[in-house]
Amino acid sequence: MVGLSFRIAVVKGLTKKKMKRSKLKRNRKVLLHKPDSKPPVAVDLPELPEDVLMQILARLPANLLMQFKCVSSLWYSIISSSYFANHFLDRDGHGDYALLSQLITNLKATVFQLEEYVTIPGMGGCLVNPLEGLMCCRIGRSVRICNLTTKQHVELPIVVSNILGDDSNMWNHFGYDPIQEEYKVISLTWEMAQERVVRSDHHVLVLGPGASWRRVTQSVAPHRPCSQGISMDGVLYYGAWTGENTFVVVSFNMSSEKFNLIKLPLHAGTNLMNYRGKLAVFDYSPHLASDLRLDLWVLEDVSQWSNKKTFVLPISNIDVIIPGELSVKGTSREGMVMVFSKTDYCSLHLICDLYTCKKIEGVILSKLRERLPFETESLHTTYWDDFESIMYLEI
């Protein structure tokens, strides 16, 4: 496998105010050719201030920025800085990009506005989750991070847990600490006895040079994750089963690294989604009749849930007849849900906006499996995330 490296700790915290200005030559000569093909004329062009240069560069597509790193040491420093990378992520238009994935066997599924094939030699395994252009994958106990834009990837150290179970009793999440401006990987391991969770172990790794796993010392009730995580405002949420075989929502603060187990309202669903910037759980009737009814509860406070909200999704007028039962998946996008058929789980039929209870139009669907550099049967979970990032990392 080709050894590629991350550079996050080197550029982390490099802000505009701290960036050193290079000693610039103020009278750069540029040769211009006139239309009448006369000899070139030398023209003096003033150097642009760094803040102006950054604003111009931030308007360019990511693939050009990767090429422009070689223009000068100043350009390399600007484009490689975490300040500029974050500014690039925050620019207008990034909401137009999303990456959706699940098991792909036909034309009906799941990349939205991905302009070119993603080929990253050496990557493989089970997709954990994407985050701001970085993708976390796992093979056994080996966790890898890759950048879908720069095509970089790195293999993280193997986590050492007090629980020596098989690889199926291990789960990972990938998140971001907005206070320390750090990317973190969470590893969860658990032990089962008589179909109950009796122990669980939790570790955190901060991406950067010399990265290593450290155990979370907080005493947490044993639990095993069972859903994709959703990150909002520096907090990771995921569904889990406790030792009493009770479904709960677990929150993990990426800054304080504290867990909190949240009980669900009576009769609430176990599906997670982002609703108006807050975590929500929902339930629905899977049988196709006319339109689909969805019941939703919103987490208003640390452990306070709203009253039930009911929505009716307009599935009766979709083009594809869905046989059998339906499957509805929540997303990290505010108010967005996706509708699949359980009998043809490879087909994404509908994306709905709960705010308007209308179908999202203009979604471009294409095959994902051809875009990934590995064969896997683990693409049964739906992902949705801004994916174009210029973050250059090393470890």
- What are the residue ranges spanned by the domains of the chain? 94-371
Kindly provide the b/e burial profile for residues 219-235, where b requires at least 16 CB atoms within 10 angstroms of the residue's own CB: ebebbbbebbbbbeebb
Cα separation, 119 vs 217, in Å, equals 39
Residues 6+ apart with CB under 8 A from 42: 29, 30, 31
Residue 197 pLDDT class (50, 70, 90 cuts)? confident
How many Å apart are CA 241 and CA 225, to the nearest integer? 7
SS3 of residue 236 by DSSP = strand
Task: Give the whole-angstrom CA distance, residue 270 versus residue 249.
Answer: 9
pLDDT at 36: 57
Neighbours of 343 (CB within 10 A): 12
Say if CB 323 and CB 344 are below 8 A apart.
Answer: yes
State residue 30 phi and psi, 5-degree precision. Answer: -125, 130
Q: Pick the more confident residue, 333 or 110.
A: 333
Question: Strand 170-177's sheet: what is its strand order?
Answer: 170-177, 182-193, 196-206, 213-215
Residue carrying the six token digits 């990771």: 236
Q: Mean pLDDT lowest for which of 18-27, 191-200, 276-285?
A: 18-27
pLDDT at position 113 over 60: no
- Which of the given ranges, 37-51, 73-87, 248-262, 360-374, has the highest pLDDT on average? 248-262
Fold of 94-371: Neuraminidase (2.120.10)
Distance CA 354, CA 276 (A): 10
Write down the residue that tokens 């939205």 correspond to: 112
* pLDDT at 42 > cutoff 70: no
Q: Write out the two tokens for 127.
A: 């997709």
Q: Which pLDDT score is estimated for 314?
A: 72
55: pLDDT strictly greater than 80 = yes
First-residue to last-residue Cα distance in the chain: 16
Percentage of the chain lying above the pLDDT 90 cut: 21
Q: What is the DSSP string of 273-327?
A: EEETTEEEEEEE--B-SSSEEEEEEEB-SSS-BPPPEEEEE--TT-SS---SBEE
| Cβ 318 vs Cβ 359: under 8 Å | yes
pTM metric for this prediction: 0.73
Q: H/E element holding 245?
A: none
| Encoded amino acid at 212, one letter | S
How many residues appear in the chain? 395
For residue 317, is pLDDT > 60? no
What would the pLDDT profile of 343-388 be if each residue is shown by its tens digit? Answer: 554 556 677 888 887 776 655 444 444 444 444 443 444 555 555 7
| Per-residue pLDDT tens over the stretch 139-185 | 778 888 888 777 788 889 999 888 866 667 888 999 999 999 889 99
Rounded Cα gap, residues 106 and 164, in angstroms: 39
pLDDT value of residue 107? 32
Residue 197 has phi, psi (to 5 degrees) of: -80, 120
